């Protein structure tokens, strides 16, 4: 499989047409960045990002682990959640944003990358085993998915995503949708 502009556009279109979560994802990509920036969001908005990260796998992620992560996230003090998200909003780079977010319970680098994507979808894209595997199959990454990925692993992945998005003149959200569809 080779990533080309045409391939990315086709896969992203198929994602929009076939993926069950597309509509709610699109709505949240339109509303959460402003809400996170202004601080005008509630606990459920923040918890939605964690739920989304795991539930987008639609049964391919162990249910027990998903539930544990969601419950553990709910145990965070909401003011700590607000501080971490606020710090991510003003972070100077991905490493700083991820460091702040991973201070929260149940937030590892992949979940933190999901928060980053909903904080600023023009600058960040989520990472997970499916996206990484699609990149690897296309020859864009050399090694298997590091489970769990480190901040430096995410930075390398993000740089690759940004490079391809620039080359194909597309948004990171479009590239994400293509990665997700091509990994099925």
- Cα torsion angle, 16, 57, 136, 103, sign: positive
pLDDT tens digit at each of 184 positions of the chain = 778 999 999 999 999 999 999 999 999 999 999 999 999 999 999 999 999 999 888 666 667 788 899 999 999 999 999 999 999 999 999 999 999 999 999 999 999 999 999 999 999 999 999 999 999 999 999 999 998 999 999 999 999 999 999 999 999 999 999 999 998 6
CA–CA distance, 44 with 19 (Å, rounded to integer) = 23
User: Which residue, among 67, 58, 69, 56, has the nearest Cα to 127 in the 3D structure?
Assistant: 56
Q: What pTM, to 2 d.p., does this model score? A: 0.95
User: Which residue, among 56, 74, 59, 29, has the nearest Cα to 110 in the 3D structure?
Assistant: 56
């Amino acid at each position: 499989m080779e990533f080309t502009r045409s391939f990315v556009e086709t896969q992203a279109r198929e994602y929009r047409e076939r993926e069950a979560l597309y509509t709610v994802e699109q709505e949240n990509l339109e509303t959460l960045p402003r809400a996170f920036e202004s601080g005008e969001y509630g606990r459920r908005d923040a918890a939605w990002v964690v739920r989304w990260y795991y539930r987008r796998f639609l049964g391919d992620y162990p249910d027990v682990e998903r539930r544990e992560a969601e419950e553990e996230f709910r145990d965070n003090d909401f003011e700590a959640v607000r501080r971490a998200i606020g710090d991510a909003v003003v972070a100077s780079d991905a490493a700083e944003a991820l460091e702040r977010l991973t201070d929260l319970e149940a937030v590892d680098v992949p979940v933190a990358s999901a928060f980053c994507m909903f904080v600023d979808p023009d600058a960040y894209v989520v990472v997970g085993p499916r996206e990484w595997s699609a990149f690897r199959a296309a020859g864009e990454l050399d090694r298997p998915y590091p489970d769990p990925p480190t901040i430096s692993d995410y930075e390398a992945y993000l740089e690759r995503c940004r490079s391809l998005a620039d080359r194909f003149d597309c948004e990171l959200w479009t590239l994400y949708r293509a990665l997700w569809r091509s990994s099925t």
